[in-house]
Amino acid sequence: MSGVDAIDWHDHRRRIGRLGEDLAAAFLQRRGARIVFRNVAIGRGEVDIVAQIGTARTAVEVKTAVGPDARPADAFDEAKARQVRSLARCLDPPARRVDLVTVVLDHAGATIRWSPFAG
């Protein structure tokens, strides 16, 4: 892969991730969540979405994948859940829970799934 190809691939992945986060935020808002922050950098990590869901401040991890057989939830393993829980505790005020939103993009559009209390 040439340098240009690598840059293009990185940009493509970043755009897909951003689209997934935009769709996830809109999805949560339609279900009554208030988006407080997005892309909160904490040390070397990042919380994708901080939302107020009912009375709970929530850290939301968003995983996006492309293709009809994509399984973005597989990327939210125990190590990733531990990392997001740790970052959630660093927020001010801390998030009391961690949710997962997965977005699958394919020729039919987007399929979005929300897993409350995933982490």
Q: Which helix (H) or strand (E) holds 48?
A: strand 45-53
User: Regarding predicted confidence, which is higher, 10 or 7?
Assistant: 10
pLDDT in tens, 67-111: 989 999 999 999 999 999 999 999 999 999 999 999 999 999 999
Which pTM value belongs to this model? Answer: 0.90
10 pLDDT tier (thresholds 50, 70, 90): confident
For the record, the structure tokens of 18 come out as 């951003």
Pick among 3.40.1350.10, 1.10.490.10, 1.10.3720.10, 3.40.50.300: CATH of 3-115: 3.40.1350.10
State the Cα–Cα distance between residues 18 and 64, nearest whole angstrom: 9
Task: Please report, for the chain, the start and end positions of each structural domain, with discontinuous segments joined by +.
Answer: 3-115
Q: Which helix (H) or strand (E) holds 38?
A: strand 34-42
